Amino acid sequence: MNKIKIITILAIFLAVISAVSALPAVLEEVQVDDTILQETTINRLSLERGEDYEVRVRFTALEDINDAEVRVFISGYEYSDIDDIEDKTTVFDAEENVTYVKKLNILIPDDVDKDDYKLRVIISDRYNDELTANYNLKLDVPRNSLKITDVVFNPANAVRSGSALLTTVRVENKGEKEQNDVRVTVNIPGLGISSTEYIDEIDNGDEEEETEEIFLRIPKCAKSGNYDVDIEVEYSQRKYKVTEKETITVLEDETCKEDTPKTTITLGNQMQNVIAGQTATFPITVTNAGRTSKTFIVTIPSADWATITITPTSTLVVPAGQTQTVFANVQVSKDTPQGAHSLTATVSSGDTVQELTLTTTVQQTKSSARAIFETILIVLVVLLVILGIIIGIAHLRNKEDAETYY
């Protein structure tokens, strides 16, 4: 009876053994960052924190394998429940006598402890025992490495235009070397402002951190909206740098609203009197009472009775709070008929357009008959003067002759 029980137990055990077998595959090679790993060696491959590494796993299937997957991972990371150091393939089928190479990536966190670890490689399917291999690693720290761990704004997230923004930047030393004269820059490109401060020293102890406070003044009347804030930390004689990008909201300053016009355009003289062939000059003055510079364009259509020029330029860039003047020169043709002639000058800046009327009154030159008469009159006067001189000389000679006779 006991023999029968023993035989039965052995049969069940053999059935279980035959039902659960090893995965029919051979793990041929594992590479990390193009370095071949050896499972039995005592040597360790050094990997640096904060880096991403490619892991290549090559294996050959001895039989058809369904629903297989390859997984690589490193155990012992403090925060593995939040962010594992691992990667795995999607499920795939492997055919008998075919060699496969699977490429995976593992990111070594920059806060993992500096220590010895093992890279674990597992090839498995749904039911068979997995094929495993372990390789020695040493997780090390880079020689020079800083990290921006936090950026805090005061006021937080939103600041009114014209006010000060305090930016606190926290920098952590993740490398082996102590860092001196660390340059911290906060820049808001959309507002054209930036500021720089220096951290004298960040020790190379375990996770040493320093903070720097930087003030920026938001321009008064800056346009409301969201702006990118670029934070840059330069170290090791500014040969290395790390950057972060944040966003700040700028609120409108209510005192910047104006009810009065921001631009005044005036014409110095609306009417000029000229003789045909001469030039009439009209000064046009533009005053920008706003808080930003503006560009103005002056245009005058051509006319068949005059040649028109604008000096010194037809395009004005007027800074905030300043005034500039241009001159519209209307050179009247010699054959222009007498009377008033009008032109329309247009001054535009964006959607703002203002028209000015320039009136030139042409007066004719003196008539030719009158000019001839005046010339003849002048000649007659000259002749009379000459005649008077001749008569005077003749009278003087007659008087001298009479005195001699007596």
Q: What is the pLDDT of the chain when averaged over all its residues? A: 85
CB contact at 8 A, 55 and 71: no
- Ranking 223-227, 246-250, 251-255 by mean pLDDT, the lowest is 251-255
pLDDT band at 152 (very low <50, low <70, confident <90, very high): very high
Average pLDDT over residues 57-63: 95
146-255 and 263-363, same CATH topology:
yes
CB contact at 8 A, 332 and 302: no
3-state secondary structure of 60: strand
pLDDT band at 13 (very low <50, low <70, confident <90, very high): very low
Determine how β-strand 131-140 pairs with β-strand 45-48.
Answer: parallel
Q: Which DSSP state fits 369?
A: H
Kindly state the tokens that stand for 47. 């990997």
3-state helix, strand, coil in the chain (%, to 5): 15, 55, 30
Q: Given this structure, which CATH class describes domain 263-363?
A: mainly beta
Residue 323, CA distances (Å) to 270, 279, 350 in order? 19, 25, 18
Residue 352, CA distances (Å) to 221, 261, 349 in order? 21, 11, 5
- Ranking 57-66, 260-269, 275-284 by mean pLDDT, the lowest is 260-269
Domain ranges of the chain: 23-140, 146-255, 263-363
In this predicted structure, what is the pLDDT of residue 18? 42
Q: Which DSSP state fits 337?
A: P
**CATH for the stretch 23-140:** 2.60.40.770
DSSP labels, 252-277: PPGGG---S-SEEEEES-SEEEEETT
Higher pLDDT residue, 7 or 386?
386
Task: Provide Rg for the chain, Cα atoms.
Answer: 49
Instruction: Report the CATH architecture of 146-255.
Output: Sandwich (2.60)
pLDDT band at 259 (very low <50, low <70, confident <90, very high): low
Instruction: Answer whether residue 400 shows pLDDT above 70.
Output: no
Q: Which of 89, 121, 91, 85 is nearest to 102 (CA)?
A: 89
In this predicted structure, what is the pLDDT of residue 80? 86
Q: What is the pTM of this model?
A: 0.53
**Which H helix or E strand runs over 347?**
strand 339-349
- Beta-bridged to residue 240, according to DSSP, are 235
CA–CA gap between residue 304 and residue 309 (Å, rounded): 14
Residues shown for the chain: 406
Instruction: Answer whether residue 401 shows pLDDT above 70.
Output: no
155 preceded by cis ω (within 30°)?
Answer: yes
3-state secondary structure of 355: strand
Q: Which of 143, 188, 183, 177 is nearest to 49 (CA)?
A: 143
Which pLDDT tens digit goes with each residue over 230-240? 999 999 989 99
In this predicted structure, what is the pLDDT of residue 19? 44
Which pLDDT tens digit goes with each residue over 166-224? 999 999 998 888 889 999 999 999 999 999 999 999 887 656 788 899 999 999 888 89
How far from the centroid of its chain's Cα atoms is residue 167's Cα? 20
Instruction: Answer whether residue 261 shows pLDDT above 60.
Output: no
In this predicted structure, what is the pLDDT of residue 399? 57
